[in-house]
Amino acid sequence: MTTQTVTPDRSPLAPERESFWHLVHAEWTKFRTVRGWVIAAGVTIAAIAGGAFLGTDVSGGCAGGRASGAASAAACPVQPTGPGGVPVVDAFYFAHQPVTGNGTITAAVTSLTGQVEAGQAGNGAPRMGPGLQPWSKAGIIIKQNTSPGSAYAAMMVTGSHGVRMQWDYVNDTPGLVQGAGAGGLGRWVGRVSVSAPRWLRLVRDADTITGHDSADGTHWTRVAAATLPGLTSTVQAGLFAAGSYYESSRCTYDSNFCTRAIGVFRHIRLSWPATGWTGTNVGGYANATGTPLPGTLRQSAATTTVAGFGDISPAAGNAYGGSGQSLQRALAGTLAGLIPLIVVAAMFITAEYRRGLIRVSLIAAPRRGRLLAAKAVAIGAVGFVAGLAAATLALAAGAPRLRRAGGLEWPVSLLTEARMAVGTGALLAVAAVLALAIGTIVRRSAPAVAIVIAVIVVPYLLAFHPLPGSQAQGSGPGGGGGWPLQLTPAAALSLQQAVPRFHQLIALYPLAAGYYPLAPWAGLAVECAWAAAALALAYYLLRRRDA
């Protein structure tokens, strides 16, 4: 009581009022108290969620690539599905015999040749010319049964990818034998011949099948072990050949099956009691008159020759009618929802310039970079939450509709679905930050909004309607869309890709079937790079210019 400390005059504000998060809170208050902006954010959510109903309406046509445009259900073939519900094509020539219990099948492939249809002979039969495809295949296989889509594991020689082990349609592992040919010590990708055969072996142990390969039949290398859950005791084991995918409008049997692979086998040994080979055209694909794909089995004293059309493969890309109903269709409204968000995000700063509020804001937060960062955090959070909520609603509404429409939908794991939903939120958040940065740079609403829409929406349209006469986009394993979806912020739409791509299936992976040219997070990185560059310029100009 004797001495009284005189405290210097202080601002009555608590120190935390100057903190960054307080600034963010202030910006959030600005956002939520403008009714039009909140309504626009609501429109964003409504557009994305509503777009799910438009996008998942696949009632017209088969939605698959095979018969798109065909309205009658009769014209739409039933797509076989493999283990896990994956849409597959399972059509090949199978020389098989039933085997029971554990055992081993071994064979040496001494020749693999391929043919591609060059035209039709006078009697309507296909006229074949030479043409081994990169993934034409012949080898040994252990398969549950001969119905399409059943579980299998196979060792094979391919046209130009060497020895492979494949199982259950989606798995592919290269053989490990290092050849002494032109490839030196690298992986063997050469052609087989009588003097340089490839030895293949499959060992069954309960529901595990192990693949081995060898150059000489004595030194074996284990390639991989496939687990086929639920494999019955009696299965079919044997030799197979399949031509692989080759799209041409001139094919006699099916626009997808235009090639034939011919494999020559020697030294076939089964540890099971032999019962003789039965030849079957698995899959039953046929031409218009019902003639099945003509596979053949020829046996001589030393060799067995198996020739077959078809393929054993996932139905992905535009191949085998296995596309078009991916879950991504549920997010079709994303760009429509993006437009009102871009308007709001640009106005978040341009309205301050228009009303002169920017001066007050800068008096309250004199450090301009912090103000810009707070605005970016606030509008980014709005975009993220709106996108996440909308995408969750859209996926929840769209998935059952797609499932009801048909069985072609790719099974999408929960993790992928989460990536699609969170990715949509991230895509919208970064787009909002980009719009804010552009708005700061140009300080005027209309040009800012137009610029951001032009760099996000227009590239997507250009990707969908590629420039006429330019190189076909979406070809090859690179995926659909081309440069507009690789270089512009629209690249982040790849976060919504629901369908996988397979290196062992050379087909078109078009944007229309839900394939993007970049990996999901690479696409987001491209969009982030745009936003970061725009923010850096905005920061520089905001500091340098008078408000």
Partner 1 sequence: MSLTARLTAPRYLLGQARRAAAAALLAEWTKFRTVPGPAWLLAGVVALTVAAGVAAASVARCPSAACGIDPATVSFTGIYPGQAVAAVAGVLAIGNEYSTGMIKLSLAAMPRRLTWFFAKTAVLTAPVLTASALAVAGAALAGRLILPGHGFTPAHGYASLTSATDVRAAAGAVLYLTLIALLSLGLAAAVRDSAAAIGLALGVLYLFPLAAAVVSNPALTRHLDQIGPLPAGLDAQATVGIQSLPLTPGQGLGVTALWAAGALLLGALALTLRDA
Angle at 139 between CA 136 and CA 143, to 5 degrees: 110
Whichever of 324 and 520 has its CB closer to partner 1, that residue is 324
Residue from the set 180, 274, 360, 461 that interacts with partner 1 by CB under 8 A: 461
Residue from the set 8, 15, 290, 469 that interacts with partner 1 by CB under 8 A: 469
Instruction: Decide if residue 403 touches partner 1 (CB under 8 A).
Output: no
Whichever of 115 and 350 has its CB closer to partner 1, that residue is 350
Whichever of 197 and 510 has its CB closer to partner 1, that residue is 510
List, in sequence order, the alpha helices (H) in 150-238: none
Residue 13: partners with Cβ closer than 8 Å, 6 or more residues away? none
State the virtual CA torsion across 360, 363, 366, 370 in degrees, nearest 10: -30
Rounded to 5, what percent of the chain is helix, strand, coil?
Answer: 40, 25, 40
Whichever of 252 and 323 has its CB closer to partner 1, that residue is 323
Whichever of 217 and 447 has its CB closer to partner 1, that residue is 447
Closest distance between partner 1 and the C-beta of residue 175, in Å? 39
Whichever of 257 and 410 has its CB closer to partner 1, that residue is 410
Instruction: Decide if residue 63 touches partner 1 (CB under 8 A).
Output: yes
Count of residues interacting with partner 1 (CB under 8 A): 48
Q: Three-state SS for 480?
A: coil
The widest CA-to-CA distance across the chain, in whole angstroms, is 121
222 contacts 118 by C-beta, under 8 angstroms:
no
Whichever of 279 and 447 has its CB closer to partner 1, that residue is 447
Instruction: Decide if residue 39 touches partner 1 (CB under 8 A).
Output: no
Angle at 478 between CA 473 and CA 482, to 5 degrees: 35
Q: Which stretch binds partner 1 (CB under 8 A): 58-66, 75-83, 128-136, 391-399?
A: 58-66
Copy the structure tokens of residue 436: 């804010």
Closest distance between partner 1 and the C-beta of residue 412, in Å? 18
Instruction: Decide if residue 448 touches partner 1 (CB under 8 A).
Output: yes
**Binders of partner 1 in range 66-105 (CB under 8 A):** 68-69
DSSP category for residue 125: P
HSE toward the beta carbon, residue 290, CA cutoff 13 A = 0
Instruction: Decide if residue 42 touches partner 1 (CB under 8 A).
Output: no
Instruction: Decide if residue 467 touches partner 1 (CB under 8 A).
Output: yes
136 contacts 244 by C-beta, under 8 angstroms:
yes
The counts of H helices and E strands in the chain are 9, 16
CA distances from 348 to 20, 115, 358, 388 (A): 18, 63, 11, 21
Whichever of 222 and 355 has its CB closer to partner 1, that residue is 355
43 contacts 388 by C-beta, under 8 angstroms:
no
Q: Which stretch binds partner 1 (CB under 8 A): 2-10, 314-322, 391-399, 465-473?
A: 465-473
Closest distance between partner 1 and the C-beta of residue 293, in Å? 29
Phi, psi for 346 (deg, rounded to 5) = -70, -40
β-pairing verdict for 126-130 and 198-205: unpaired
CA distances from 188 to 114, 120, 220 (A): 19, 36, 14
Phi, psi for 86 (deg, rounded to 5) = -75, 130
Whichever of 58 and 428 has its CB closer to partner 1, that residue is 58
Instruction: Decide if residue 51 touches partner 1 (CB under 8 A).
Output: yes
Residue from the set 59, 227, 232, 234 that interacts with partner 1 by CB under 8 A: 59
Task: Pick the closest to residue 56 from 395, 392, 320 (CA basis).
Answer: 395
Instruction: Decide if residue 453 touches partner 1 (CB under 8 A).
Output: yes
Residue from the set 38, 176, 286, 336 that interacts with partner 1 by CB under 8 A: 336
Residue from the set 237, 347, 389, 538 that interacts with partner 1 by CB under 8 A: 347
Binding site for partner 1 (CB under 8 A): 36, 51, 54-55, 57-61, 63, 68-69, 324, 329, 332, 335-336, 339-340, 342-343, 346-347, 350-351, 354, 444-450, 453-454, 457-458, 460-462, 464-465, 467-471, 512
